[in-house]
Structure 1
Amino acid sequence: MGKMKNGLTGGFSGKVGTLVGSSVKGQNILRNAPKKSSKNPTAGQLSHRQKFTLVSSFLRPLNGLIKRHFGSAQKLKSKVNLALAYHLKEAVNQVEDGFVVNLSKVVISKGILQTIFVDTVAIVNKELTLTWSANLVFGSVNKTDVLTVVIYQKATESMFILEQVAERGAGECKVQLPASFEDTGYGIWIFLTDVGLVECSTSVFLGEF
């Protein structure tokens, strides 16, 4: 059932007859309802559906970060849609029994801030320790920029998002991970934001551990 907004002159959402109404970035969109196909999907279509499901599930816990930090939206394409398109194209590998996400190609943020160069990574007794050079060698670098760390636990397919855990100038951070974290193999990404969360750096993959 469709719902009309602001009377006859407004837009509507939902389905009315053969039409579907929706709102995208404040614009009312009206289009024909898709028709169900009686044809069996091709191998290519099945592969695309499998990849889409894989990538959508992987990115879902990250959507909050992506909405804030994945570059700039483009016309009717949201940051989430842009991230989905990128990962479908660049971050999926085919394996014998289907597809897997290539963690080294995952990008969580896109921005103009300088990154940091991490020297050591360790997780001991569920405590994460990172160290990096705190030398401020670039004129545009601010020592009060703050670090966000994202950890993907492969065995359980769980995301741990640790926001604003240390300032750039500190050179080190120590964070106690939740009790649910299991040291069974994980991937780690980092990026920085300014204190106002306006600008960010492009995320860096530190590796699989």
Structure 2
Amino acid sequence: MGMMLTNNGMLTGLVGSVVFVKGKNGEAIVRSKPVYKKKKLTPKRQQSCDRFTLGGDFIKPMYPFLKDSFTNFLGKRNACDAVRSYSLTHAVKLEQGVPVIAYEKVLISTGNIRSYQALNQQLVTNGLYLQWDPDTHQAFAEPDDVLSVVVYVPVLEDYLFFKACALRVSGAITLELPAECSQAGFHAWATFANATQDEYAFSTYLGHFEAI
């Protein structure tokens, strides 16, 4: 805003750090330009903001998958609220006052399908070998349930999604991984869904696979 001259010859406006305004009696008043200072956050508030940012940044790339796989809303109105609330409450912890992801607490799905029960898992030459108990004789487990796996590489901040990559009844699969995943190390989660993929299980954390 620059300086202006009104019809009655009065100056108004801003010049540098000085503001000219019209007073109640019609006379010009000179004031200093207001200085707005950003309020410094308290340590506790800053910690809360850092937790929110970390959790949000972690789940955002997964949300296209999570919005369909969180079929149990955990008391929330929708999948978006459930994902955000659960992740910020349970999957972000403090270590010496610094927020970090609690990978073992991360959920990539919720629901009533029978969960993944690991029998064997290991890095092999061409990827990640997974073997599980089909459990097809148990309730909420069908031979045509489909397996999905999510891999996260912290060093690269990158995700791999293997959606509907095997049937429950098959009992095993080898997932092909880029070489950089094995070289950097990664975390992985597995879950089952029904054949139409509109109902899921509570996911299972497969663990941290060390770099080789």
Shorter chain as denominator, the TM-score bin is 0.7 to 0.9
Per the alignment, residue 45 of structure 2 pairs with: 45
* Amino acid paired to 1:83: V
Task: Name the CA distance, whole Å, in 2 between partners of 1:156 and 1:193.
Answer: 28
Per the alignment, residue 202 of structure 1 pairs with: 202
Task: Name the CA distance, whole Å, in 2 between partners of 1:146 and 1:157.
Answer: 27
SS in structure 2 at match of 1:86:
helix
SS in structure 2 at match of 1:183:
helix
TM-score by length of 1: 0.75
Q: CA deviation at 1:79?
A: 1.5
SS in structure 2 at match of 1:205:
strand
Q: CA deviation at 1:78?
A: 3.6
Per the alignment, residue 169 of structure 2 pairs with: 169
Task: Name the CA distance, whole Å, in 1 between partners of 2:179 and 2:208.
Answer: 20
Query: Structure 2, unaligned stretches of length 5 or more?
Result: 1-35
Task: Name the CA distance, whole Å, in 2 between partners of 1:45 and 1:117.
Answer: 40
Structure 2 residue 176 is the aligned partner of structure 1 residue 187 = no
Which structure's CA Rg is the greater one? 2
Q: Are residues 76 and 107 of structure 1, via their aligned partners in 2, closer, same or farther at CA, if it must alter by over 3 Å? A: closer
% of aligned pairs identical?
25
Q: Are residues 49 and 135 of structure 1, via their aligned partners in 2, closer, same or farther at CA, if it must alter by over 3 Å? A: closer
Q: Are residues 194 and 97 of structure 1, via their aligned partners in 2, closer, same or farther at CA, if it must alter by over 3 Å? A: same
Deviations along 1:111-157, one digit per CA (max 9) or x if unpaired, are: 00001311111222341210112342214321000000011112222
Per the alignment, residue 127 of structure 2 pairs with: 127
Q: CA deviation at 1:184?
A: 2.4
Task: Name the CA distance, whole Å, in 1 between partners of 2:127 and 2:201.
Answer: 25
Q: Report 1:144-163 matches (<5 A).
A: 144-163=144-163
Per the alignment, residue 11 of structure 1 pairs with: none
Per the alignment, residue 111 of structure 2 pairs with: 111
Q: Are residues 118 and 74 of structure 1, via their aligned partners in 2, closer, same or farther at CA, if it must alter by over 3 Å? A: closer
Task: Name the CA distance, whole Å, in 2 between partners of 1:76 and 1:158.
Answer: 28
Per the alignment, residue 86 of structure 2 pairs with: 86
Query: Structure 1, unaligned stretches of length 5 or more?
Result: 1-35
RMSD: 2.4
Task: Name the CA distance, whole Å, in 1 between partners of 2:126 and 2:97.
Answer: 33
- Contact 1:153–1:182 (CA under 8 A) maintained in structure 2: no
